[in-house]
Chains A and B, each alone.
Chain A
Amino acid sequence: MARSTSKDAQALFHSFRSAYAATPTNLKIIDLYVGFAVFTALIQIAYIAIVGSFPFNSFLSGLLSCIGTAVLAVCLRIQVNRENKEFKDLPPERAFADFVLCNLVLHLVIMNFLG
């Protein structure tokens, strides 16, 4: 049972790798950005697990800035991805401008909330 699951996992991993290699570079950059943001969020969670979350608003603002920008980057990826039929007449410049605007609002609110 365990061997079949590990073999499954390996096969899964391989096929996933090969399928992912086919994605265009701009999407891979966005994925890298999302991964970085989530990684930063995980570091912050590890930090509060060790030290405690005393200025809770600061913790929330740090965590939400990471999660927020990750979510917005995923939305950008969705809108820019040429395979998505629903967004085929949305120019990628417009998608990027929306992304920048939302991030601006996000970070302004974060700066107010940081305390």
Chain B
Amino acid sequence: MVGKAEPVNGSVKSGSNQSIPAAMQSPLKKSDLIPNLSLKTLKLKTKQQELLIRVSILCLVYVLAFITRLFSVLRYESMIHEFDPYFNYRTTLFLTEKGFYEFWNWFDSESWYPLGRIIGGTLYPGLMVTAAIIYWLLRFLRFAIHIREVCVLTAPFFASNTTLVAYFFGKEVWDSGAGLVAAALIAICPGYISRSVAGSYDNEGVAIFALLLTFYLFVKAVNTGSLAWALASAFGYFYMVSAWGGYVFIINLIPLYVLVLLITGRYSMRLYVAYNSMYVLGMLLAMQIRFVGFQHVQSGEHMAAMGVFFLLQVFFFLDWVKHLLSDTKLFQAFLRITVTTAIAVGAIALGVGTASGYISPWTGRFYSLLDPTYAKDHIPIIASVSEHQPTAWSSFMFDFHILLFLFPAGLYFCFKRLSDATIFIVMYGLTSIYFAGVMVRLILVATPAVCLISAIAVSATIKNLTLVARAKNKVTQTGFVRGSSSLKGSSKASLDQSQPFQRNGAIALLLGAFYLLSKYATHCTWVTSEAYSSPSIVLAARGAHGNRVIFDDYREAYFWLRKNTPPDAKVMSWWDYGYQITAMGNRTVIVDNNTWNNTHIATVGRAMSSYENEAYEIMRSLDVDYVLVVFGGVTGYSSDDINKFLWMVRIGGGVFPVIKEPDYLVNGEYRVDKGAAPKMLNCLMYKLSYYRFGELTTEYGKPPGYDRARGVEIGNKDIKLEYLEEAFTTSNWIVRIYKVKPPNNRCPYAGNDVPYLPWVPTVLRYHFQAMFHG
């Protein structure tokens, strides 16, 4: 038994991880063939050899997962990427400087001026607390490290931990070979790397680790029926709730899984123990996070879990009564009464709760997952985020490569050997693939499932192929065979004797499998290097002579803001840049990426889309001192504000009907050249982006004022600003900052005829003007 099972596992792994030299698998064969190998000289038994191989593979995978995420640190520098991570960094900095109680009760007046934001109650603290704990631990060990380094490297560290959890999960679902393959696959899978590179200090980096950990602990609890594992999974769930809003997936998948087990008749007492303790303890722990609050008992998204909880109680109570009573007729009567009362009570409770509004319906963010067209029609802010768009096939291929066809193969294997654990992983895979199809961002949630199921396919296939390839060996080289006659290999061996080409076929298929896996590794590394390692805040391009040109305009502008504006200056920009301005520029902003107040964002959108005098009123009412716009016309940078402008119009128009989208389009077309709509040519965003641009020659052979991002010559080259003046433009014109001029002495409200009402608050004033002007 020992001689048969272990070597197959060893050779399984050696195939799918190219870093193990071929010589390592040989000691598991009889040692006469290779006399002077180091493993043999250590005089290890087979079990210990196998343990050594497994541990070394896991260590290599651990290191690999970490170092493949370090491209941007090596190419640029160790900095925080993108937009959301800057908020997380700022809060972590606050946490480490001021301590946990200040952090937990923090009211921030530097964003969403004049409303402010209750940060302590509206964030998921898991990520910040994790990074702070790592920082304090390192400090305790006397490593004088800056918190920014810890933040930058948190995501790769947790990616490495995820590979370990994937190994244990694979071992639980299938066997240790599948676990090793799963760890290797998930270490480099681009779907996961995209949100966990070094520098991407975002919730998902920690949340995927928590997700997989919770699922692993829950499956372990269902398999063993132990209260201790259920408690551990409740803690895993607590960590997940503290880390990411995607915990809703867990609290809906697990009840769905329990329901499926009940319906298919695979339920057992272990399921009862695991689910109930995990649900009650997990729910209580989750309610400790202020942002989640009482949602577990009040929100429609969490009602499935509660429903299944009650269903389980009723179900197992009936089961127990049936076991107690010996007379089936009486039991049927009892069953009838109980079931009808239970269903009636449940339906009434649900109906009353939903109708009275006590149980809130599904929020827009999650409802748009079930009905993908919902956001586009009703909530433009959710629809405008690029990560929330439906996924194209190319994204799937890009992020998963060969896993895309290994996934159905793995499903086949799972169905062949159904158990509680494989049912779970199949359900996880199918639901997450569905959601990944609805929203690009959710490919991340599907990645662990796809990697695990593909690992099952790879492991099972390679194991079968190796069995076929090795069976012939055992029969022909009889000198080395021990107990093969009593093992299943013998039957295969006797078959193979008559078909020698079957062994060659198996070897050819094995080589093909190794080739595929090596192509996977190459693809993943290429994708990581080219697509997912850009910091977004620093842009790079190739100069005319092939040298690398770095555009560091964003940080240049934020640093200028930090050094050259008064400390209480308020900056108005589109919400994308809010977090970065507060974190790096250290100035108060009007709106930022949290997007919690749609009206406030719509106000800013309205200001950007109005004529300069109307916009000036709005800016005066918000006490704006500086306006920041991002402009890509000189460099050809395409994620600038002019390209985002239509979203500003839509969001502004959603709240203020005075802004109409067709006003800015010509025949349904969005243009900025001579043929553009007059409102477009004179709105604030256009003026601020193209101020003095008409004098600039951007490309050889093109007229001055040629916009390289849109590829046209702009329509309005002679722009004059009446209420703003240019304060700063970065060296490549990417970020432009304008100062709002204080009102003239003689005419405080130039351009309107509403009487001066000093006792009316400023914000209400322009509402009145809106009523007058329609």
Contact = CB atoms under 8 A, between A and B. Distances in A.
Contacts of B230: 102
A16 B297 CA distance: 35
Chain A CB count within 10 A is highest, among B272, B276, B283, for: B276
Contacts of A109: 281, 284-285, 288
Given A15-B327, A16-B324, A60-B297, A110 B284 contact: yes
Interface residues of A, number: 37
B270 interface: yes
Nearest to B298: A56
Interface stretch (B80-88, B113-121, B220-228, B406-414): B220-228
A75 B333 contact: no
B277 interface: yes
A86 B288 contact: no
Classify the interface of chain A: helix, strand, loop or mixed.
helix
B278 to A, nearest CB: 10
A87 B272 CA distance: 13
Contacts of A72: 227, 277, 280
A110 B287 CA distance: 10
A106 B284 contact: yes
B281 A102 contact: yes
B228 A84 contact: no
A51 B326 CA distance: 45
B329 to A, nearest CB: 9
A75 B288 contact: no
Contacts of B326: 15, 19
A87 B224 CA distance: 9
A60 B277 contact: no
Given A60-B287, A75-B227, A79-B273, A15 B330 contact: yes
B687 to A, nearest CB: 51
A87 B281 CA distance: 22
B272 A78 contact: yes
B334 interface: yes
Contact of A68 (B225, B280, B297): B280
Contacts of A64: 280, 283-284
A84 B273 CA distance: 13
A90 B227 CA distance: 11
B522 interface: no
B22 interface: no
Interface in A58-74: 60-61, 64, 67-68, 71-72, 74
B238 to A, nearest CB: 9
Contact of A101 (B231, B287, B324): B231
B317 to A, nearest CB: 9
B228 A101 contact: yes
A25 interface: no
Nearest to A100: B227
A105 interface: yes
B539 to A, nearest CB: 47
A2 interface: no
Contacts of B284: 61, 64, 68, 106, 109-110, 113
B138 interface: no
A20 interface: yes
A11 B332 CA distance: 13
A86 B269 CA distance: 8
B359 to A, nearest CB: 14
B269 A87 contact: yes
A57 B325 CA distance: 41
Interface in B259-300: 268-270, 272-273, 276-277, 280-281, 283-285, 287-288, 294, 297
A95 interface: yes
Interface in B334-378: 334
B227 A16 contact: no
Interface string A78-101: 110000101100100001001101
A19 to B, nearest CB: 4
B325 A19 contact: yes
B325 A16 contact: yes
A12 interface: yes
Contact of A5 (B283, B321, B333): B333
Nearest to A95: B227
A100 B422 CA distance: 31
B579 to A, nearest CB: 31
A28 B273 CA distance: 19
A98 B325 contact: no
A78 B283 contact: no
A19 B294 CA distance: 42
A71 B283 contact: no
B334 A105 contact: no
B321 A16 contact: yes
Contacts of B321: 16
B225 A86 contact: yes
A16 B287 CA distance: 39
5 contacts: A8-B330, A60-B297, A71-B276, A87-B269, A99-B227
Q: Which 10 A-B pairs have the closest CB atoms?
A: A98-B227, A19-B324, A68-B280, A75-B273, A71-B276, A8-B333, A12-B330, A109-B284, A78-B269, A98-B228
Given A67-B280, A102-B227, 14 more contacts: A19-B325, A64-B284, A74-B272, A74-B276, A75-B272, A75-B276, A84-B269, A87-B269, A101-B227, A101-B228, A102-B277, A105-B231, A106-B280, A109-B281
